[in-house]
Structure formats: C-alpha cells, structure tokens
Amino acid sequence: MSETASVALAGDDLESFKDHMVTLIPSLRAFARGLCRHREAADDLVQEAMMRAWSSRDSFTPGSNLRAWMFTILRNHFYTTIRKDGRSVTWDPEAAERILIQEPEQEMPIHLEDVERALLELPDKQREMLLLVAGSGLTYEEAAQIAECNIGTVKSRLNRGRAAIRAVIDGAQATTMVQ
C-alpha cells in the first residue's frame, strides 16, 4: 500500500487530506483519459471528482484507502455523465433557427376568411358533415347517427364538400355543389 493509499484524517488535518488528494491527480488524470479518450474531457472529469471529493470529505473514513475512494468518485461521476448525456440532445443553433421559425400571422385571417366563405357556399348537408367530422372530430359512424343517414352518404357528402371548399379557396368555380 502506498503512502497516499490510506489517510488518517483528524479534525485539524485537512491540510494533509488536501496534500494526499493533490498527489493523486496524475493517476486520476491517466484513469480519466482512459475512460474519456479526450484530454479536455478527462481534465474536466478529474476537476469535478476533486471538487466532489473535497465537498464530501466528511464522509471519508479516516484510515481507509483514499486512492480507491477518489477513483470511485471519478468513475461514478463518469458513468453518471454518460447516462445523462444519453438522455440529452445536443443543441444546434442553426437547426433551431430552421425549426423555431414562426410563420407570419398576417395571412392567417385571410385563410380563415376563405375557409369560412367557402363553408357558407356549401349546401347545408355537406357543410353539416364537414362541421361534424372535420370540425368536431366525430367518427363517420357518429356523424351518420346524428344525420340519420348511411356511412356511405357521410363519406360522399364529406368528399364533395372538401372538393368544393378546395375549389372555392383555389379560386375556381365550384360548379358541382350538388347535395
């Protein structure tokens, strides 16, 4: 067992504890580089392990193996970081700009007015089916029960209503607005 392996820690012997921690830095760095494979990440890992060890020095059992205790802290922090990184996503500012673009709101009322105008031009039964299925989210079966008709009639009215709305919004004349 080396000199730094076990430390007798008295209340006034914090300087000795710190000195023993400092002597472990080269060994901790070598271990961290083996885990991380990147020098900067390994140095950050050692620094974090040193800070955690210092803040938890009261939990160190005097006379036990400080070297093993420090390596355990470093190893546990490494694997905790790996688990956290596996759950997180990297933030790409350029991708965020493309994703987080809000469409201009000026055109929204125009489109809503077009749809509202087109709905008003539909025959009552087609408008009713569109409002029940597309507007209220009812199933075809529920809409058929409410309108007291067959499911095929519901589908037909929806199809013709959607086509007529598309035609009105696109500016074409809806010539086949038949019930």
Question: Which sequence spans correspond to the domains of the chain?
Answer: 14-87, 108-169
pLDDT at 122 over 60: yes
- Integer-rounded Cα Rg, in Å, for the chain is 35
Same fold, 14-87 and 108-169: no
Can you give the pLDDT at residue 1?
40
Tell me the C-alpha distance between 6 and 11, whole Å: 16
Read off the tokens for 56: 């938890």
CATH for 108-169 is 1.10.10.10
Over pLDDT 90: what percentage of the chain? Answer: 30
pLDDT per residue as tens digits for the range 68-120: 999 999 999 999 988 887 776 666 777 666 666 666 665 555 577 777 888 88
Of 1.10.1740.10, 3.40.50.620, 3.30.300.90, 3.40.50.300, which CATH number belongs to 14-87? 1.10.1740.10
pLDDT per residue as tens digits for the range 36-58: 888 999 999 999 999 999 999 88
- Got the DSSP string for the chain? --TTTB----TT-HHHHHHHHHHTHHHHHHHHHHHHSSHHHHHHHHHHHHHHHHHTGGGS-TTSBHHHHHHHHHHHHHHHHHHHHHH-----HHHHHHHSPPPPSTTHHHHHHHHHHHHHHS-HHHHHHHIIIIIT---HHHHHHHHTS-HHHHHHHHHHHHHHHHHHHTT--------
Can you give the pLDDT at residue 15?
87
pTM: 0.46
pLDDT at 178 over 60: no
Can you give the pLDDT at residue 25?
94
